[in-house]
Chains A and B, each alone.
Chain A
Amino acid sequence: MLLALKNISKQYNKHVVFSQIDFSCDTGKVIAIKGKSGVGKSTMLNILAGLERPTSGQYIYQNKQMEHRSYNFLTKFRSSTIGYISQFSPMIPELTVLENISVPLWFEKEEDQKQQYMKQIEALSYLFEIEHLLHQNVKSLSGGQLQRAGIIRALVKNPPLIIADEPTGSLDDETASLILNHFTSLKVNGTTTIIATHNDSVSNHCDETYLLLKEGLVYAQ
């Protein structure tokens, strides 16, 4: 088992988003989390990514308790373990696509590693068909192109866990399946992907689908 949520609840002030979520997942799986808008899918993913802490309950990642860790620790955890893809890939407007994609490498010290990651960027940009845009400013890109750049940025360091919040929202079906197939292809290296989505065609690509409700998380198929 790679990770588990045990009896997790999250509330903001008095507003309870969800409570008593139990969830576990194995290494090398692609998992979809579905649910109505506002039910807390993004919040759950943020907890998994260490961007937020649950109000109560336990988060165990590879047998380590995560829920009480400091944001400093969680940031290191995220940097080394998680590729985070958000619905609208944020970009630094002053930089080129390539520079934006290589931001995770700023926090990398070893030069050899960096070289390797740069090769990875090159390969992925060919795969996702934005190699011709790498040296353009991000402002000149379309939403779908930005999304692909954001996905590459999340994958640069070969993270064992990919957290993707509506990753294909702004992509056409063809590109969307290209991306989803890539996630599937990563399974052989033991990469796990957790995707929040509204879209059935996305969940059809996944090994397991869960439905998030206010009262908890249920297995759907």
Chain B
Amino acid sequence: MRIIHILFKQGKLLNFLNLFIAIILFLFLMALSINMQQAKLEVGTMSHFKNKQLYKISDGLINEEDVNFFAKPSNYDRLHDFSELMHASTQFQYYIANWQPIGISDFKGSAIFGAYYELGHSEQTSNRDGKEYSSIKSVQVTQNVFDLNVVQLQQGRTFDADEYILTGDNIPIILGAEYAGVYQLGDQIDIDYYFQTFKGTVVGIVQPLQKIVTNSRPELLLDRYVLLPLMSLSDPPSYLNKNAVKYPVFFKALLLTRANGMIISELDPLSIRKIVGSIAQKTGFDQFSIIGADSLRINTLVQMTEANQFTLLLVSSLMFVITMSILLLTLFIKTKKNVSTYKVLLISGATLNHVCLMISIQSFITYLIGSIIPCLITMILTGFSIPIFLTYLLLVLLLSLFMTIMTYLFVKKIFSKLDIVRELKG
């Protein structure tokens, strides 16, 4: 310990330089480990959208047109047919992740799940059939949302194909990661979805930090969301409407949601226009427009995460090389300068190997100290995320250990060059 103490006292400037460089190196390592944890998912996810064209279908049923359109019962069927053909197309994927809060009665979670919590609004509730429902964040998704975004579950399963078809009052639900511990697999939840009540059953819980592309944003973090299958009707709405008079609002909302989707395809705009046009003709629904959607934004996002990771890796490697060189250089200068110290130690009862070891331990300590500040920053930035902390810790330990071993070998080499025993002879 005394020896290490002395080593820290010797060449303070060089020691500080080493520490400073170590801090910078670890700052990059920190960025890298955060990035590795998140971009790993992001790049994986986003790359599915890469180089694909995105188009949005937007219905033109606004105000009066809406009223006029739904005044005719047969138009329900037209809209229904249109959506079904769009979803069934083999030439493109029809993708919907619809942001739409739902009501949950007797809600067990905290305010963070509230539909407008992030906007600073307090919990909102509504009454239906004598029960109070809290307004909760939710997205309704088509089956391809899970595949395209590579959504990972920590428990349970995704929705089965037949669960995307509306039958009765039962509806499976999948919860975001922060719901873990609030609800469990198999729990029954009363849901109000478009003014219609359902019995929800929890079938799955998503892993943390999972993101999806929604119809309105390039990425949505699922942690606080309830996922519902975006259901299709099993029969034409005119038929269903006959039996259940009280459904119209629900049907209308559901049909519109299912119609307003995103087309994901490699085809050019003209071909898409042709295909969709023929579907419109076949079904008799043509009150919509095709918008060349955010493909640019998504492509940029993909490129950015990829570039980020690459740049970070590059800069980190560069920093590593610089750190390494500076470490070796300062070691060389310090070791040459401190020969008399080693002589004293040698004649007073230390082997040169022991001194080597002490110098290596000094480097190790320098690196550990240098890792603390970036570690604190990591913890604060990531809200004390354990996986990121562990990744960072592993990187720090591996790197510090590597540097320590390099130090040992290098100093040993310098010692044998210097021939301290010969120096003693004067």
Contact = CB atoms under 8 A, between A and B. Distances in A.
B350 interface: yes
Nearest to A157: B349
Nearest to B423: A90
Interface string A100-131: 10011011000000000000000000000000
Interface string A56-93: 00000000000000011001101100001011101111
Contacts of A94: 6, 9-10
Given A42-B426, A52-B421, A103 B344 contact: yes
A92 B347 contact: no
A107 B350 CA distance: 8
A59 to B, nearest CB: 16
A137 interface: no
A76 B3 CA distance: 17
B247 to A, nearest CB: 87
B406 interface: no
B424 A79 contact: no
Nearest to A154: B347
Taking chain B's interface residues, is the majority helix, strand, or loop, or is none over half, making it mixed?
helix
B348 interface: yes
Contacts of A154: 347
Interface string A165-208: 11000000000000000000000000000000000000000000
A96 interface: no
A158 interface: no
Given A71-B353, A95-B6, A166-B426, A90 B343 contact: yes
B349 A46 contact: no
A32 B309 CA distance: 71
Contacts of A100: 344
Contacts of A107: 348-350
A49 B348 CA distance: 11
Contacts of A106: 2-3, 348-349
A57 to B, nearest CB: 18
Q: Which of A49, A72, A88, A106 has the most CB of B within 10 A?
A: A106
A94 B76 CA distance: 90
B350 A75 contact: yes
B345 interface: yes
Contacts of A95: 6
A150 B3 CA distance: 19
Contacts of A43: 425
A148 interface: no
Contacts of A92: 6, 340-341, 344
B426 A88 contact: yes
Contacts of A153: 344, 348
Contacts of B421: 46, 51-52
A47 B25 CA distance: 46
Given A42-B425, A95-B6, A72 B351 contact: yes
Nearest to B12: A94
Nearest to A70: B351
Interface string B329-352: 000000000011101111111111
B159 to A, nearest CB: 69
28 contacts: A42-B426, A46-B421, A51-B421, A51-B424, A52-B421, A71-B353, A78-B347, A79-B349, A86-B424, A86-B425, A88-B426, A90-B339, A90-B340, A91-B340, A91-B344, A92-B6, A92-B340, A92-B341, A94-B9, A94-B10, A95-B6, A103-B344, A103-B345, A107-B348, A153-B344, A153-B348, A154-B347, A165-B424
